[in-house]
Amino acid sequence: MFIDSTRLHLKAGNGGNGCVAFHREKYVAAGGPVGGDGGKGGDVVFLVDKNLNTLESLRYTHTLSARNGEDGKGEKMYGKSAEDLIIKVPLGTLIKDAESGQVIKDMSDEEPYILCKGGRGGWGNRHFATPTRQCPRFARPGIPGEEKEVILEMKLIADVGLIGFPNVGKSTLLSVVSAARPKISNYHFTTLIPNLGVVPVDREQSFVMADIPGLIEGASDGAGLGHDFLRHIERCRLLVHLVDVSGEEGREPIEDFEIINKELARFSPELAKRPQIVVANKIDASIEEQIDELKTYVEEKGYPFYAISAAAHLGTRELVMAIWNAVQALPPIKVYETEYVEPESLIDPRDHSVRISRLDGSYWAVEGEWLLRIMRGINFGEYESLQYFQRILQNEGVIKELVKAGVKEGDTVDIYGFEFDFVY
């Protein structure tokens, strides 16, 4: 099954906690703190795999998490860092923020991309030893890993896109000019998935052609199969528009040509302006007047025109050379720029400001993102750890801000659930 879009919740691993430990050895009375640091949590990394052409492997996966780093150990031993979670995707996959729909990364190259960074490991208690605090009984916990809700969306990377109504011969043309072997039958919607083929020009030059499942009137509104696959021609530098001039389907070539172009414009005005070569196919089963009528019509609109029979291999080589010459003059394949801005990047990590609010007559609350990070490493049931937290409040100016806000001695102060009577 061809799956070209899926939604995932991704989480990087948490950092391991620092260790509280003291050296114990015969004949050594006071070995001192030797708690090791926690290991780093695993990153969530996206990697292009050119052997993939669908997101099928992620179809039934809703949540993926990297492993956490190991906790630190005694004798200054570090916890083991966790392995990264590698997610392999096809070339051309867009990673989008699920909430805003903004592009985070276009996986159009083979460079790995770290979407969620694993948390750093916490410090062991050996880092907190000072001349006056020789036996610290606290350590820092690991930092949580980042997490994101994303949408993965494939957009095929091809130089040339074949467009047109069903059964006009797109798959046949691709099979003739490349080594691709798409399914070919004489009925509508034979092609259910986009097919790619490398078209050789000479021994050293080639281009990539994509056969897009047939469009019909109303495709931009979801009719037929075209709506699901219109996105796959958005990267194509050149569109090759096949029109059936045999009359086998009882259709008018000029009318078909206009209908497809209107659907392109409704889906994407930018796509409708893409360079286009018009190709009359099945000329071996058509009358000369119908070919000439279509040629005159499209050339008056400024489109290059070619007449071929893909099944009979008539005019296909001339068409390949014309496509190659046109592609050479066009800009490179579109790469989507990053639109998404990390919310965390808007917060200054050096900002140690606090928000103080009066909840009742003598009851106050203190808030600040940096305080939450500090409090995760505090053992409020241990005296030295509590003293350490008190010094942080004093040194960072929180006590001074409380006095400025009007807190009196004996008032109750709450900091994220930790309550104490204020003494100044």
Tens-place pLDDT, residues 249-297: 777 899 999 988 888 888 888 888 899 999 999 998 888 888 999 999 9
CA angle 326, 93, 46 (to 5 degrees): 135
The 3-state DSSP class for residue 32 equals coil
pLDDT score of 348 more than 80:
no
pLDDT score of 203 more than 70:
yes
Question: Which domains, ranges and CATH numbers included, belong to the chain?
Answer: 1-154 (2.70.210.12), 160-328 (3.40.50.300), 350-421 (3.30.300.350)
Task: Give the count of alpha carbons within 13 A of 209, CB side only.
Answer: 29
pLDDT tens track for 227-251: 566 777 788 899 999 999 987 777 7
Place of tokens 């942080």: 392
Q: What are phi and psi of 391, to 5 degrees?
A: -65, -35
**Helices of type H across 301-415:** 316-328, 369-375, 383-395, 398-405
pLDDT score of 377 more than 90:
no
Amino acid letter, residue 391: R
Whether 211 contacts 170, CB under 8 Å: yes
Q: What integer best gives the mean pLDDT of the chain? A: 86
User: Strands 355-360 and 103-107, how do they pair?
Assistant: unpaired
In order of 111, 124, 383, the CA distances from 138 in angstroms are 41, 8, 10
- State residue 167's pLDDT score: 83
- State residue 184's pLDDT score: 60
pLDDT score of 217 more than 60:
no
Whether 354 contacts 367, CB under 8 Å: yes
Q: Structure tokens of 222?
A: 């979801």
Q: Structure tokens of 411?
A: 């008032």
- State residue 210's pLDDT score: 87
Mean pLDDT of 27-53: 90
Q: What are phi and psi of 382, to 5 degrees?
A: -120, 130
pLDDT tens track for 99-151: 999 999 999 988 999 999 999 998 898 988 888 778 888 788 888 899 999 99
pLDDT score of 44 more than 70:
yes
